[in-house]
Amino acid sequence: MSYSSRGRKVRRRRKTLNIRNLIILIAGCVVTILLFVLLVHGAVRLISKGIGALSELGGDDSSISSGVSEGTSGESSEVSEPPVSWTTVEMTEADERSGDLILVNAAHEYTSEPEDMTILYGNKPNSYGLKVAEMYLKTPALNALNEMMDAFQASSGISSTLVTSTYRTAEEQQELYEADIAATGGSGSGEVAQAGHSEHHTGYAVDLMYSSPTGYAYLDGTGSYAWFNENCYQYGYIVRYTADKQAITGIVSEPWHLRYVGPVHAEAIQRGDYCLEEYIDMIKLHDSTNPYSFVSGSGETYLIYYVPGEGATTQVPVQVGRSYEVSGTNEGGFIVTIPTSSTGTTDSQPAADGVSGTSEPGVSGVSGVSGVSGAAADGTSDGSGSSGSASN
């Protein structure tokens, strides 16, 4: 018994020794860490003071001092928004007649041929039907149509809507025009444009019919199909010919004829109650120094402005470091659209779509990192590369 009690005492003493050692060790560690933190803090302050002094001495590398202040103080409010700087992208005369804002009417002939079109057959959902197998639309217009028709089916349960006309050649339009003249005894119905003056040449227009008890009929904008009047803008389409704008468009009301102009402009046109002619006239009042500022329903602010064409080539101003879309108007100029929250992308992302004037989605802008000249060079080279292949 006594032996074992002695052993316990010894163990107890060892235990207290161990605890004392542990306390000393922890205290040592804390002191070491404190010393280290103080040392690092002092070093950083010294370095930032040194760089600050350097930049005060006339060093033009402001990015270093702003970088350091951001890193040490963590006060992001000190780093103000960089001022907007501008560069240009070169557009050709052919680009004036290309893009989703081109105006085609009795006064403005479409003399190009659209490219980058996709056949609807095999590239559409089951939410609508096709009148014939050979139908084509500009690819962004088709993608938007597919989304819109899916949404209409989800909302109404109707999947029998029929796409009856999309892209038409000038020859097809001429036949339609002559048939219309013959059928109306020479006066014309006011619904069929002459060859070269129909939006169907552009690949941006689509006609819709609905299934009725007596067969198919053109959309009349009533009943379930009023959905299109109210919602097509969300997919980048506008009802192009309405009764109240007939005096301007020269075309009678056609609730079945939808025209793709892209979601931003479709929303601006819808909200402002413009027809395309009026909308372009309104944008023409705004140049790059005084852009039209449009806030979309999603909260994004877009700067939209007009640049008159200058002949063979036009230097179109765009903002460095922001993405942009440039569309021709087919009436002598360009419309530029800049989402203000955009920050552009890296140099490796081509700006081809924006520069070529097709104004398709996914356009990337010039990079602000490489500076104005670098960005301009990128834009120009991409433009010339793509405009060789795009002629619409």
The residues annotated with a catalytic role in the active site are 254
- CB nearer to Zn ion: give 170 or 366: 170
CB of 196 to Zn ion, least distance (A): 15
Q: Which of 360, 362, 364, 368 is nearest to 382 (CA)?
A: 364
CB of 107 to Zn ion, least distance (A): 18
Instruction: Select from 18-26, 202-210, 301-309, 373-381 the region that touches Zn ion (CB under 5 A).
Output: 202-210
Q: At 337, phi and psi to the nearest 5?
A: -125, 125
> Which residues ranging from 295 to 354 are in contact with Zn ion (CB under 5 A)?
none
CB 88 within 8 A of CB 326: no
Tell me, rounded to whole angstroms, the distance of Cα 88 from its chain centroid.
19
Of the chain, the end-to-end C-alpha distance in Å amounts to 106
CB-closest chain residue to Zn ion: 257
Identify the three-state secondary structure at position 88. Answer: strand
Q: Which of 320, 307, 296 is nearest to 372 (CA)?
A: 320
CB of 240 to Zn ion, least distance (A): 8
Return d(Cα 34, Cα 56) in angstroms, integer. 33
CB 333 within 8 A of CB 306: yes
- CB nearer to Zn ion: give 100 or 207: 207
Q: Contacting Zn ion (CB under 5 A), which of 138, 245, 257, 284?
A: 257
Instruction: Select from 174-182, 206-214, 222-230, 336-344 the region that touches Zn ion (CB under 5 A).
Output: 206-214
Residue type, 304: I
- CB nearer to Zn ion: give 241 or 292: 241
Q: Is 245 a binder of Zn ion (CB under 5 A)?
A: no
Instruction: Select from 90-98, 225-233, 255-263, 303-311 the region that touches Zn ion (CB under 5 A).
Output: 255-263
- CB nearer to Zn ion: give 207 or 325: 207
CB of 239 to Zn ion, least distance (A): 11
> Which residues ranging from 142 to 201 are in contact with Zn ion (CB under 5 A)?
none
Q: Is 253 a binder of Zn ion (CB under 5 A)?
A: no
> 273: which residues sit within 8 A by CB, 6+ positions away?
none
Return d(Cα 321, Cα 373) in angstroms, integer. 12
CA distances from 348 to 22, 87, 90, 343, 378 (A): 58, 18, 19, 15, 9
CB of 177 to Zn ion, least distance (A): 13
CB 359 within 8 A of CB 67: no
Instruction: Select from 140-148, 183-191, 251-259, 347-355 the region that touches Zn ion (CB under 5 A).
Output: 251-259
CB of 386 to Zn ion, least distance (A): 29
- CB nearer to Zn ion: give 200 or 284: 200
- CB nearer to Zn ion: give 97 or 257: 257
CB 391 within 8 A of CB 113: yes
Tell me the number of residues near Zn ion by CB under 5 A.
Answer: 2
Q: Which two tokens stand for residue 129?
A: 């039907």
Q: Is 207 a binder of Zn ion (CB under 5 A)?
A: yes
CB of 172 to Zn ion, least distance (A): 12
Give one DSSP letter per residue of 290-336, joined into a string. Answer: S-EEEE-TTS-EEEEEEEE--SSEEEEEEETTS--EEEE-SSSEEEE
- CB nearer to Zn ion: give 207 or 382: 207
Q: At 118, phi and psi to the nearest 5?
A: -125, 140
Tell me, rounded to whole angstroms, the distance of Cα 313 from its chain centroid.
24
Instruction: Select from 17-25, 154-162, 203-211, 279-287 the region that touches Zn ion (CB under 5 A).
Output: 203-211
Binding site for Zn ion (CB under 5 A): 207, 257
